[in-house]
Amino acid sequence: MDDKVWDVLIIGSGIAGLSAAVRLARKYDVLLVTKGKLYDCNTDIAQGGIAVALGEEDSPFTHFQDTMSAGDYLCREDALKVLVEEGPVCVKELIDWGANFDREGENLDFAKEGAHTIRRILHAHGDATGHEIEKTLLIKVREFKNVYFLENTICLKVEVKNNVCWGAICFDNNEKKILKINSRVLILATGGAGQLYMRTTNSLFSTGDGHFLGFDAGAILEDMEFVQFHPTAFAKEGAPTFLLTEAMRGEGGILRNNKGERFVYRYHPLGELAPRDIVSRAIFTEMKESGAQCVYLDMTHFKRSFLENRFPTLFKKCLEYGIDISKDYIPVAPAAHYIMGGIKTDTFGRTTVKNLFACGECACTGVHGANRLASNSLLEGLVFGKRLGGYLLEMDINSGIKDNFIGNGYFKEDECPFGDEIFLELKKRMWYQVGIIRDEEGLKSALSFIREKLDLLQKSKSVSCRVYEMIFGTAYLITLAALNRRCSRGGHFRSDFPTKGECGNMHLDLKKDMGEVIKVFWEE
């Protein structure tokens, strides 16, 4: 491993990395490294579906408008145009490769979710859409013999000299050894950061590594304060937190407070199907005012057979925890779900570091603006992974590579004085102080806690400390951005600055410079 120079190294096995790998395999030797098993990613557990303008009454233009409106008009227009216009071709290709989306007779069955003005969400096996897509892409990628997989291996550092990326240092948890992986091109496709929060819908592996790796390598990160909290995650005491897809509300599910009242229309005319940031804040406010630990999702007006058929996974899962959704209200509360901010890229996945690319949730193409429209994330991974792959196929990536460049002595496999209790403390702080409703006092307190831990972690060279450093590093960047954006927009709400104010129209870039974080607000 240490001697080979790979054409392309991809970090992450979700939809974006796989979508890129399928193209790249036509020309290049690709190594795909992933922290867990191949299926351990947010793509695999995605429920609701993939939004795409394929229906007869739909159009890319309407999809564009809905995304803009949910994104609170902060979406980057060029990227969003690419998403909605190239989406249909990418999804048709996925269907040709065997993705079996649910149908009504011969025709694709489109579902509705929040802030969509039309039914445009494709789903598979009711509520197991992500698994169908992940499986299809993995089967497709495996047709190519020049794509190699390395599971249980975590990327610790992206290697950069003079703003050019040369590969990465990883830790192979199978063999318990450090790997120096030389590559001509590196793609970060590590997914989300939901696990930085106490309550999350994300896979256990979504700890925001890619965001920190990109930042540490010198790339610009954009809009890190925009975190989306999904309104409805299971919230029964003693049970795990898991997502209850927005498609349940799309089908007519009703949100009730602890008095049984349907409350969301008091907050927005679209009620249960208002944009997610609004519904989450409405639930949060109801819970705060009543002192209750949850609100309820009411599906009891549907026939049992419909629920078993349309939401088979969730029907069984809720039953496991004593909730029969055809008879009982489901206890729900918001949970961290998606980060709109990330490594700034153009529409070909290029970052501000040469030979370093990013796609999927760890990237910020700008399509989601301040709040992502439901079911746009799988589409983003698919479309921008493909574009990035296509771009690299056209390039001469062989120029300028030096073999075996990476030095020794970065990380050692010794003990780290930190344990999981400190990670739990971070998750609590992020939830309470950098969560759905934020203010200066809480953000400052979280920031100083994180800074103090980061200072300790950065003194160590142990692999485990580096893993925590990546987690705390991304948490630091989210908190710093949230503290500096003294206004409210989309997923970022400051109780001390509740209006859009002046900075509401701006984007916020973060970049490392001589050990400091440079902050730049800019307007399109």
Distance from the Cα of residue 152 to its chain's centroid: 20
Catalytic member of 276, 372, 387, 429: 276
Q: Which amino acid is at 113?
A: E
Q: Which of 67, 280, 355, 377 touches ligand SIN (CB under 6 A)?
A: 377
Binding mask 198-237 for ligand SIN (x = CB under 6 A): ----------------------------------------
Does residue number 29 form part of the binding site for ligand SIN (CB under 6 A)?
A: no
- How many residues make contact with ligand SIN (CB under 6 A)? 9
374 touches ligand SIN by CB under 6 A: yes
Amino acid at residue number 273: L
Contact between 473 and ligand SIN by CB under 6 A: the answer reads no
Contact yes or no for 79/347 (Cβ under 8 A): yes
The full DSSP string for 346-415 is -TT-B-SSBTEEE-GGGEE-STTTTSPPTT-HHHHHHHHHHHHHHHHHHS-TTTT--SS---S-S-B---
Contact 294, 238 (CB under 8 A): no
Which range binds ligand SIN by CB under 6 A, 242-250, 286-294, 494-502, 504-512? 242-250
Q: Hey, which residues between 319 and 338 contact ligand SIN (CB under 6 A)? A: 337
User: Is residue 188 within the footprint of ligand SIN (CB under 6 A)?
Assistant: no
* Dihedral sign from CA coordinates of 282, 284, 285, 286: positive
Task: State yes or no: residue 433 binds ligand SIN (CB under 6 A).
Answer: no
Q: How far is the CB of 227 from ligand SIN (least distance, A)?
A: 13
CB of 47 to ligand SIN, least distance (A): 4
CA 145 to chain centre: 29
- Residue span binding ligand SIN (CB under 6 A) among the ranges 103-111, 240-248, 283-291, 495-503: 240-248
Interface stretch with ligand SIN, choices 102-110, 210-218, 344-352, 374-382 (CB under 6 A): 374-382
Separation between Cα atoms, residue 112 and residue 461, nearest integer Å:
49
Residues 335-354, interacting with ligand SIN (CB under 6 A): 337
Q: Which of 14, 17, 48, 214 binds ligand SIN (CB under 6 A)?
A: 48
Measured between alpha carbons, how far is 266 from 137 in angstroms, rounded to an integer?
Answer: 43
Pick between residue 123 and residue 494 the one whose CB is nearest to ligand SIN: 123
CB of 377 to ligand SIN, least distance (A): 5
Q: What is the CA radius of gyration of the chain?
A: 22
**Which of residues 245 and 257 has its CB atom nearest to ligand SIN in the complex?**
245
- Selected range binding ligand SIN among 69-77, 243-251, 262-270, 408-416, rule: CB under 6 A: 243-251
Q: For residue 320, with 0-12 CB atoms within 10 Å meaning exposed, 13-18 middle and 19 or more buried, which class applies?
A: exposed
* Binding residue for ligand SIN, selected from 84, 247, 362, 483, defined by CB under 6 A: 247
Q: How far apart are CA 284 and CA 295, in angstroms?
A: 9
Tokens for 282, please give them. Answer: 């409405």
Q: Which helix (H) or strand (E) holds 239?
A: none
Coil/strand/helix, residue 118 = coil
Cross-strand pairs, 517: 512
Considering only the stretches 176-184, 277-285, 356-364, 369-377, report the one whose residues sit in contact with ligand SIN under the rule CB under 6 A.
369-377
The whole-angstrom separation of Cα 151 and Cα 395 is: 28
Q: Which residue is nearest to ligand SIN (CB)?
A: 48
Nearer to ligand SIN, 247 or 358 (CB): 247
Q: CB 319 → ligand SIN: shortest distance, Å?
A: 19
Q: Closest separation between CB of residue 131 and ligand SIN, Å?
A: 13
Report, in Å, the least distance between residue 385 CB and ligand SIN: 17
Stretch that binds ligand SIN, among 22-30, 70-78, 245-253, 492-500 (CB under 6 A): 245-253
Owner of token pair 């249960």: 272
- Among all chains, which residue has been given the structure tokens 């990536």? 397
- Whether 142 sits among the annotated catalytic residues: the reply is no
Residue 42 lies near ligand SIN (rule: CB under 6 A): no
**To the nearest whole angstrom, how small is the minimum distance from the Cβ of residue 386 to ligand SIN?**
19
375 near ligand SIN, judged by CB under 6 A: yes
Amino acid (1-letter code) at residue 238: G
User: How many other C-beta atoms are found inside a 10 Å radius of the C-beta of residue 212?
Assistant: 25
Using CB under 6 A as the binding rule, whether residue 366 contacts ligand SIN is answered as: no
In the beta sheet, which residues pair with residue 339? 227
> Does 246 interact with ligand SIN (rule: CB under 6 A)?
yes
371 touches ligand SIN by CB under 6 A:
no
Residue matched to tokens 């549907």:
302
What is the 8-class DSSP label of residue 328? S
Query: For ligand SIN, which is the closer residue by CB, 88 or 381?
Result: 381
Q: What is the DSSP string of 43-73?
A: HHH--S-EE-S-STT--HHHHHHHHHHHTTT
> Which residue type, as a one-letter code, is found at position 251?
E
Residues annotated as catalytic are 276
Q: Which residues bind ligand SIN (CB under 6 A)?
A: 47-48, 245-247, 337, 374-375, 377
